[in-house]
Amino acid sequence: MIGGVHLTSQYLPVIALLVLSVLFAAISFVASRLLAPRSPNDRKQAPYECGIIPAAEDPNERFPVRFYLVAMIFIVFDIEIIFFYPWALSHRSLGLFGLIAVGIFALAVFESFIYLIGKGALEWGPNKQIKPKDQVVSLARDTSNTIRRVGVRKVGQEGRNLNDQSFGNQEVSN
């Protein structure tokens, strides 16, 4: 007892919060087990890892490095936010010096982000093909001449070719 207050009464709100959070988690798990629909199939049982459907069932298969790179980038920017939090709490007392220090820090992290984008660290699609600078896309380009150029055939509802010509570079009627 300190100053007429029991120590247990000081910790009572924290203990109540812990008990309620454990109780909420337990109720959520039980409700999920009882109320979730049970329709297992092969697709639901297959592992799905951030957009990659595994081709082999080998658990020792190498994981693409790109995921680790994105995780590291996330950690860097997460730490940046952690450093901004104390500044946000005391920015008035730090004055101009604090603003300049945080600005330099933010510029350094932003510069690294621009570098990562320039190097293609966040590119997830197929390898981008860089066009020569002298190749400019015409403003007059539309779907008809683009389809003709790449040799796409027009098909009907059943998926049959509407033209009698073979697939390839053909003239397509509009």
Domain boundaries, the chain: 60-123
Closest CA to 70 of 141, 118, 143, 123: 123
Q: Is the model more confident about 4 or about 167?
A: 4
pLDDT of residue 174: 46
Q: Is the model more confident about 61 or about 118?
A: 118
Most confident of 36-40, 48-52, 101-105, 138-142: 101-105
CATH hierarchy code of domain 60-123? 1.20.58.1610
Secondary structure percentages of the chain, helix, strand, coil, to 5: 55, 5, 40
Q: What is the pLDDT of residues 49-59, one digit of tens each?
A: 666 665 655 66
Mean pLDDT of 86-107: 90
Mean pLDDT of 131-140: 58
CA 128/CA 131 separation, integer angstroms: 9
pLDDT of residue 92: 87
pLDDT of residue 71: 87
pLDDT of residue 142: 61
